[in-house]
Amino acid sequence: MATESDSSQLTIRLPPDLESWLEGLADERGMDRDRLLERLLEANQRALEQGDGDELSVRVDDLESEFDEKIDDIRSRMLQLKRQTEAKAPADHDHEEFDRFDTLEDQLTEIAQTVSTLEADIEELASAVETHDEAMETTQQRLRRVAAAVVRLQQQTNGDGEDDRLTKLREIAARRGFETATCRACGNSVNISLLSEPACPHCSTEFGDITGNNGFFSTPKLVAGSSDQ
């Protein structure tokens, strides 16, 4: 294993396209390249632990549906009440309430127009959220490539003497199609591709195996024991 002082002096070499992107971003933000890379990796780790959800999109859809239902219900009640009143009044009687109904209908139309404007704003917001999600996904893909490059550099620095257990954990994760798993000992989420040793970065528990799969009924967990895979 390389010492801490040796690791702190390493310069990570990335593929040309990633290197160009990273240097451009560092210049734009006025930051040191290596410091920016460190922050990006930390941000990616937090994003992976917190998870990506579509909560805002669901709330937008629910809000649109609720507005539509309320407008339809109000309009239906107004028309029904007007028909009942007209049926009860004499044919030659000019009832004052009719004018009120007309006024209420105008107000209802105005409300419907306001709701339409609000729905347009909501759609614009939903589009902005989708664009943000796409940009986030692109950034995460780049960061995964950066993380892979970091791992390769660490392997080279260690003289290809990497713990067989760590190699085994990465192979299991790749084969089953996930990048993160939960430490059974402390319950924290761990990004397997970023591990420098087969141990939990939160509680230092050494790992020997991964149980479970990534799905609705199973969650991958990093455990201390080992079994044949």
Examine the fold and report which residue of 137, 162, 187 is the final residue of a domain before the chain moves on: 162
pLDDT at 91: 56
**Residue 117 included in any domain:** yes
Mean pLDDT, residues 66-88 taken together: 73
Helix ranges (DSSP H) in the chain: 4-8, 16-29, 33-50, 55-88, 96-157, 164-176
**Residue 87 included in any domain:** yes
Examine the fold and report which residue of 162, 192, 208 is the final residue of a domain before the chain moves on: 162
Same domain (yes/no): 100, 203: no
Mean pLDDT, residues 179-196 taken together: 92
Same domain (yes/no): 58, 158: yes
Residue 194 CB partners (closer than 8 Å, separation 6+): 41, 45, 147, 150, 151
Same domain (yes/no): 5, 46: yes
Same domain (yes/no): 89, 156: yes
Domain that holds residue 35: 1-162
Residue 191, pLDDT > 90, answer yes
**Residue 145 included in any domain:** yes
| Residue 73 pLDDT grade (very low, low, confident, very high; cuts 50, 70, 90) | confident
Residue 214 CB partners (closer than 8 Å, separation 6+): 176, 177, 178, 220
CB 210 within 8 A of CB 168: no
Same domain (yes/no): 92, 150: yes
Same domain (yes/no): 135, 186: no
**Residue 100 included in any domain:** yes
226 or 53, which is more confident: 226
Q: What percent of the chain has pLDDT over 90?
A: 12
Spatial CA neighbour of 112 closest among 68, 62, 66: 68
Same domain (yes/no): 130, 207: no
Task: Quote the tokens at residue 44.
Answer: 């990616």
**Residue 49 included in any domain:** yes
115: exposed, middle or buried (Cβ count in 10 Å: 0-12, 13-18, 19+)? middle
**Residue 228 included in any domain:** no
Examine the fold and report which residue of 143, 162, 181 is the final residue of a domain before the chain moves on: 162
Residue 42, pLDDT > 50, answer yes
pLDDT at 43: 72
Residue 224, pLDDT > 70, answer yes
What does the pLDDT look like over 118-171, one tens digit per residue? 777 788 887 777 787 777 888 878 877 777 777 667 666 654 444 688 889 999
Same domain (yes/no): 124, 210: no
pTM listed for this prediction? 0.31
Same domain (yes/no): 98, 187: no
**Residue 8 included in any domain:** yes
* CA–CA gap between residue 164 and residue 82 (Å, rounded): 80
> What order do you get walking across the sheet with 180-183 strand by strand?
189-191, 180-183, 221-223, 209-211
pLDDT at 146: 78
Element (H, E) at 189: strand 189-191
Same domain (yes/no): 84, 24: yes
C-alpha 84: how far from chain center: 52
Domain count, the chain: 2
Same domain (yes/no): 116, 191: no
**Residue 229 included in any domain:** no
pLDDT at 219: 85
Say which residue the tokens 């089953």 belong to. 176
Q: Mean pLDDT in the chain?
A: 74
Same domain (yes/no): 133, 190: no
